[in-house]
Structure 1
Amino acid sequence: MNKHDRKAMVAAYKEKKTVAGVYAVICNATGQAWVGQSRHIDTQQNGLWFTLRLGGCRTPSLQAAWDEHGEAEFRFEQLDRLPEDASDLIIGPELKRRAELWRARLQAGPLV
């Protein structure tokens, strides 16, 4: 890859729109669910799985279930996505509202 192509790829990455949304992590072995929210829902699973593999998840019940059942028993599901053109002013409150609705619907715990 030449220098020009690399610069073009970096510029395209920086201009890429992020999508905010609500997601769930579900343990197939127990049916337990945890619901969280993210301003970057498309990349959230990678970061969360990384912290779980290292044993550093800030949600103790999720980390305990992960340690007991293993990665293969977990799935990540995007539950709700905000429109790409959503105003920065409404993203935070709207994510919080939608996450609370999904927690109630799934009887899930919160992800910190």
Structure 2
Amino acid sequence: MDKTRQAALKAAYRQQAPALGIIALHHVPSGRTLLERSRNAPGALNRHRFELNLGAHRNARLQADWRRDGEGAFRFELLDAVTVPDDPAFDADAELDALLALHQEQLLEQGQARY
């Protein structure tokens, strides 16, 4: 691949907007789940992992489970991604709020514990 093509691909990658969506951190042994909406889902997952490894996560119960069971006891995932249309009237925050409420309701229906 020539350098011009490689530079163009890198520039196009940098201009992509991060994935919007609903993320989940599952503690497998307890079944507890942390749900969160994010305008940068990959970045939010990285932030949670970083804070947990640092021992400074804002959710004390989640941090305690991490300390006790380690990273292997957790699943980090993007549950739902939002595709942003070209419509300027599209409200991404409202869409994320609705998706988060839907996933929270599903957890309640399934009887799963939450953080």
Q: Give TM-score scaled by structure 2 length.
A: 0.75
**How far apart, CA to CA, are the structure 2 residues paired with 1:32 and 1:18?**
27
Structure-to-structure mapping, 1:80-91, within 5 angstroms: 80-85=80-85, 90-91=91-92
In the alignment, structure 1 segments of 5+ residues that lack a partner are none
The aligned residue for residue 94 of structure 2 is: 93
The aligned residue for residue 66 of structure 2 is: 66
Residue 77, structure 1, aligned to residue 77, structure 2: yes
Letter in 1 for 2:100: A
> Would the alpha carbon gap of residues 71 and 34 (structure 1) be closer, same or farther in structure 2, given more than 3 Å must change?
same
**How far apart, CA to CA, are the structure 2 residues paired with 1:50 and 1:5?**
34
**How far apart, CA to CA, are the structure 2 residues paired with 1:59 and 1:31?**
16
Structure-to-structure mapping, 1:46-57, within 5 angstroms: 46-57=46-57
| Contact kept? 1:22, 1:81, Cα under 8 Å | yes
**How far apart, CA to CA, are the structure 2 residues paired with 1:15 and 1:68?**
40
Deviations 1:52-110 (A, max 9, x none): 10012122221122112111100012111111327586111221221122122123536
Q: Give TM-score scaled by structure 1 length.
A: 0.77
Which structure would you say has the larger Rg?
Answer: 2
Percent identity between matched residues is: 30
SS in 1 for 2:91: helix
